[in-house]
Amino acid sequence: MPVFLRLLVFVMFEKYCCNVVQEILSEGGQLIDVRSAVEFSQGALTGAINMPINSFQHLKDDIDTAKPVLLYCRTGARSEMVKRYLEQLGFDRVHNIGGYQQFVGC
């Protein structure tokens, strides 16, 4: 199935799997963990950078607007708030992939 079709299916159901996440990352996607620094230090997805939600306004300028953004937290709630914020700022390729535990070992 072509990439765009897989992404359409996942966007429609707002559910991401390991393969789709890895594919977006291989195309230059930026993996961002919006959990606190303490949560991040207790375990994070490989290649993720930590941009805690409470500091996000100051850190958002470090995000490359030309590349897709994949956000996650513990449950997907905080990453959804950050996703909506980035979309309001004009980011058009922002994905809330959900909770951390779902992708451990991905």
Q: What is the mean pLDDT of residues 82-90?
A: 95
Q: What are phi and psi of 17, to 5 degrees?
A: -115, 170
Q: What is the mean pLDDT of residues 13-24?
A: 82
Between β-strands 94-99 and 30-33, what pairing exists: parallel, antiparallel or unpaired?
unpaired
Tokens representing 51 are 């941009």
Closest to 48 in 3D by CA, of 27, 31, 68: 31
- Is 17 considered catalytic here? no
Given a cut of 80, is residue 93 above it in pLDDT? Answer: yes
* Number of domains making up the chain: 1
Q: What is the mean pLDDT of residues 5-17?
A: 56
Between β-strands 94-99 and 69-73, what pairing exists: parallel, antiparallel or unpaired?
parallel
pTM for this prediction: 0.84
- pLDDT-based confidence at 8, cuts 50/70/90? very low
Report the CATH number at residue 51. Answer: 3.40.250.10
Q: Whole domain around residue 40: which residue ranges? A: 3-103
